[in-house]
């Protein structure tokens, strides 16, 4: 979602130009990120062409990452990602005060509604799913731990943006790409800003069909002592199970009270 | 769980001694792994002492990892892990054929039993949780995506070991530490080997109280075309909800048929 024209924060000195910056770390991460949903197994030359590195550099990084256990090499000499990469997610989840506090509330919300509930956090211009409890009714296999969606068109993203000062929202919008993900996606920045003002009054965000067609999502922000959003709780319902009269106010109240309970339990 | 006395595979040449090995990648990973459940925020000197690196090296790697977005620095100059690390888990899960095939079956198993169901894979001597569907009844917050438990005392681990040849099982046992996690944990290797022989006949593994006290787990292996385990499905039930007469055979049959359906759908 980053827009290369608009540099992050002030154009101070480039942290990548610093003598402290270790380029090999960037290259190793690039190799790991070359694998994605459509590319499960990659050969050395696949990785070279996807990362733009020459073969000998590629070989050094695949050797290193295999030795450290983050890549597996099969008999056909193709590489694939190793489950050892999940150690990072474990470390992140286990060390997160927010995740630990939110988990039982999310579970309760899911039992009560029998719908999918999520905990998301902001990362750059996106929301990232950190905890997801799927209901017995729906299972959107497209959303998993680590899924990243743009903040501007998702209920959790809008709920979080509503807790930020306007200049910060502007900065995030400048670096976002307003794409028409479904025929219903609202891409007009003026309208999105109005929506954010409404969320500030109503304390919840509600969107329908904005990123996934048929997806209805209601979210509220978990805030720190200064009222700044540090995460969001949402309930996601498929249109086939949605009854506006019955669900609209009920789900709004549920996410608001859940987010507020989690916010209230902060230790610092 | 690794035992430094027993080198992995043959004692051939040390891959870390190769000129292809890039040491800075190892150091960067070490910095990320210094954070864990009890260490959410670390100062530069905390990281230095946990990794055994000097302050100037530590500074180079924290600068690099912050610039790449994998570490966040707060106002108090402490570092913490960033949700960007979840990108690796997303890449792993999204690119895994096994995960994509297993997800709907796991969801169905969870709806049918209303208990927690898991997909795990072997990594070195451990099983790693890659997908977890929690039931509405129980929620063991200790087990999350990326959780790593020793294979020798868990139902999924034993189900997978039972599909490996004996010399491979021996190799894994040599590198494992047989700890008494609960008063009930069976640490006698002879008894564990007998259990593995029984699993080969019965096609499922069943353990009670072996790692967590009060946890009852039944698992079966998902196999490739050669009958080798590539993952395991398990149902985990807390003792308070367990009724041996009602559940024992039923859960065994359910995990066997689920694992076999997933195995059958393999494309390669």
Q: CATH no. for residue B237?
A: 3.30.450.40
Q: Does residue A210 share a domain with residue A246?
A: yes
Is residue A39, in this structure, part of any structural domain at all?
A: yes
pTM, two decimal places: 0.88
- pLDDT of A94-117, one tens digit each? 888 899 899 889 988 988 888 889
Q: pLDDT (tens digit, 9 = 90+) per residue, B158-202?
A: 999 999 999 999 999 999 999 999 999 999 999 999 999 999 999
pLDDT at B38 over 90: no
Whether residue A35 is found in the same domain as residue A101: no
What distance in Å separates the CA atoms of residue A264 and residue A221, rounded to the nearest whole number?
12
Distance of CA B263 to the CA centre of its chain: 20
Same domain, B253 and B125: yes
Element housing A230 (H / E): strand A229-238
Pick B37's closest partner by Cβ from A64, A69, A94: A94
Q: Is A265:A147 a contact under the CB 8 Å cutoff?
A: no
Chain A residues whose beta carbon lies within 8 Å of the beta carbon of residue B141? 100, 103-104
Interval A62-84 mean pLDDT: 93
Question: What whole-number distance in Å separates Cα of residue A258 and Cα of residue A105?
Answer: 6
Chain B residue with minimum CA distance to A90? B146
Is it the case that residue A268 has pLDDT exceeding 90? no
Asked if residue B209 and residue B167 are part of one domain, the reply reads: yes
Instruction: Count CB neighbours of B238 within 10 A.
Output: 17
Q: How far is A74 from chain B (nearest CA, A)?
A: 13
- Domain check: are B193 and B120 in the same one? yes
Pairing of strands B148-150, B205-208: unpaired
> Nearest by CB to B91, which of A18, A35, A103?
A35
Span A240-257, pLDDT tens digits = 889 999 999 999 999 999
CATH of the domain at B53: 1.10.10.10
H or E element at residue B260: helix B244-264
Domain end: B82, B117, B150, which one?
Answer: B82
Specify the range with the lowest mean pLDDT, choosing from A78-82, A211-215, A232-236, B50-54.
Answer: A211-215
Residue B56: CA count within 13 A, CB half-sphere: 1
Element (H, E) at B121: strand B116-123
Q: How far apart are CA B221 and CA B234, in angstroms?
A: 9
Sign of CA dihedral B228, B212, B149, B120: positive
pLDDT band at A40 (very low <50, low <70, confident <90, very high): confident
Looking at the complex, report in whole angstroms how far the Cα of residue A250 sits from the nearest Cα belonging to chain B: 20
Are A114 and A142 contained in the same domain?
yes
The pLDDT, as a whole number, for residue B136 is 64
In a domain, A5, yes or no: no
Of B137, B105, B131, B128, nearest to B118 (Cα)? Answer: B131
Looking at per-residue pLDDT, the higher value among A48 and B141 belongs to A48
What is the Cα B54 distance to its own chain's centre?
Answer: 32
Nearest chain B CA: its distance from A26 CA (Å): 7
pLDDT at A217: 96
How far is A147 from A126, CA to CA, in rounded Å? Answer: 10
Query: First and final CA of chain A: distance in angstroms?
Result: 32
The C-alpha R_g of chain B, in whole angstroms, comes to 21
Average pLDDT (B78-82) is: 95
In three-state form (DSSP H/G/I as H, E/B as E, the rest C), the secondary structure along B75-120 is CCCCEEECHHHHHHHHHHHHHCHHHHHHHHHHHHHHHHHCCEEEEE
Contact A68 B29 (CB under 8 A): yes
**For residue B69, what pLDDT is reported?**
96
Residue A268, domain member (yes or no): no
Residues B108 and B191 in one domain: yes
Predicted confidence (pLDDT) at residue B125 exceeds the cutoff of 50: yes
Mean pLDDT of A38-46: 90
Q: What is the mean pLDDT of chain A?
A: 90
Nearest CA to A89 out of B83, B57, B73 is that of B83
Q: Do B89 and A84 touch (CB under 8 A)?
A: no
Mean pLDDT score of chain B: 90
Question: Which of A32-36, A141-145, A263-267, B229-233 has maximum average pLDDT?
Answer: B229-233
Q: Is the separation of the CB atoms in B158 and B219 below 8 Å?
A: yes
Q: A43: how many CB neighbours lie within 10 A of its CB?
A: 14
pLDDT at B3 over 90: no
Identify whether B4 is part of a domain: no
Say what the pLDDT of residue B10 is: 45
Is residue A238 one of the residues assigned to a domain? yes
Q: What is the pLDDT of residue A144?
A: 82
What confidence tens digit (pLDDT) does each residue in A10-39 have? Answer: 445 789 999 999 999 999 999 999 998 777
Among the partner residues B20, B33, B61, nearest to A91 by beta-carbon distance: B33
Q: How many Cβ atoms from other residues are within 10 Å of residue B69's Cβ?
A: 16
Q: Own/partner pairs for B105-109, CB < 8 Å, 24+ apart? A: B105/B233, B105/B258, B105/B261, B105/B262, B106/B131, B106/B133, B106/B233, B106/B258, B107/A134, B107/A139, B107/B133, B108/B258, B109/B133, B109/B233, B109/B235, B109/B254, B109/B255, B109/B258
Whole-number pLDDT of residue B195? 97
Average pLDDT over residues A159-170: 97
Same domain, A192 and A66: no
Half-sphere exposure of A8 (CA within 13 A, CB side): 11
A179 within some domain: yes
Q: What ranges in chain A are assigned the alpha helix state H?
A: 23-33, 44-51, 55-67, 86-95, 97-113, 155-161, 166-174, 189-202, 244-264
H/E stretch holding A216:
strand A215-223
Q: Is B18 domain-assigned?
A: no
What residues pair up with A237 in beta bridges, in sequence order? A216
Supply φ then ψ for residue A92, to 5 degrees: -65, -50
Q: Are A30 and A116 in the same domain? A: no
> How many beta carbons lie within 10 A of that of residue B14, not counting itself?
10
Instruction: Among A18, A60, A141, select the one facing B103 at the smallest CB separation.
Output: A141
Query: Looking at the structure, do residues B166 and B229 belong to the same domain, yes or no?
Result: yes
Length of chain A: 268
> Is residue A158 within 8 Å of residue A206, measured between CB atoms?
no
Residue B110 clears pLDDT 90, i.e. is over it: no
Residue A227, SS3? coil
- Determine, yes or no, domain membership for B55: yes
Among B33, B67, B82, where does a domain finish? B82
**What's the average model confidence in pLDDT over B1-28?**
73
| Pair B92, B115 in one domain | yes
Q: What is the pLDDT of residue B138?
A: 57
Per-residue pLDDT at A136: 64
- For residue A134, the chain B residues in CB contact (below 8 A) are 107, 133
State the residue range of the domain holding A27: 23-82
| Phi, psi at A70, each rounded to 5° | -90, -15
- Taking the C-alpha atoms of residue B66 and residue B80, their distance in angstroms, rounded to an integer, is 10
pLDDT at position B36: 81
User: How far, in Å, CA of A173 to CA of A178, rounded?
Assistant: 9
Mark which of A34, A64, A82 sits at the end of a domain: A82
Confidence of residue A141 (pLDDT cuts 50, 70, 90): low
Chain B contact probe: residue of A66, A78, A92 with most B CBs at under 10 A? A92
Q: Are residues A43 and A96 in the same domain?
A: no
Rounded to the nearest angstrom, the gap between the alpha carbon of residue A98 and the centroid of all alpha carbons in its chain is: 15
Distance of CA A92 to the CA centre of its chain: 14
Number of structural domains chain A divides into: 2
| Inter-chain residue contact A60 with B100, CB threshold 8 Å | no
């Amino acid at each position: 979602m980053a827009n290369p024209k608009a540099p992050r924060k002030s154009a101070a000195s480039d942290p990548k130009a610093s003598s402290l910056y270790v380029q090999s770390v960037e290259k190793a991460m690039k190799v790991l990120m070359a694998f994605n949903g459509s590319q499960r197994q990659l050969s050395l030359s696949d990785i070279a062409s996807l990362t733009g590195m020459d073969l000998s550099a590629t070989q050094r990084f695949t050797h290193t990452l295999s030795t450290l256990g983050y890549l597996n090499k099969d008999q056909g000499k193709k590489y694939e990602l190793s489950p050892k990469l999940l150690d990072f997610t474990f470390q992140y989840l286990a060390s997160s005060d927010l995740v630990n506090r939110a988990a039982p509330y999310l579970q309760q919300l899911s039992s009560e509604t029998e719908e999918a509930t999520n905990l998301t956090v902001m990362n750059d211009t996106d929301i990232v799913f950190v905890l997801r409890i799927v209901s017995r009714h729906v299972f959107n296999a497209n959303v998993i731990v680590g899924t990243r969606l743009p903040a501007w068109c998702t209920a959790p993203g809008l709920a979080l943006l509503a807790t930020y000062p306007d200049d910060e929202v502007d900065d995030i919008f400048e670096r976002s790409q307003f794409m028409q993900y479904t025929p219903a996606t609202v891409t007009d920045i003026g309208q999105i800003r109005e929506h954010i003002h409404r969320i500030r009054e109503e304390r919840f965000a509600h969107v329908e069909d904005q990123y996934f067609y048929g997806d209805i999502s209601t979210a509220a922000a978990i805030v720190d002592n200064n009222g700044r959003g540090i995460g969001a709780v949402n309930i996601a319902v498929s249109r086939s199970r949605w009854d506006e009269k019955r669900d609209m106010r009920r789900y709004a109240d549920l996410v608001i009270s859940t987010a507020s309970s989690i916010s209230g339990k902060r230790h610092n």
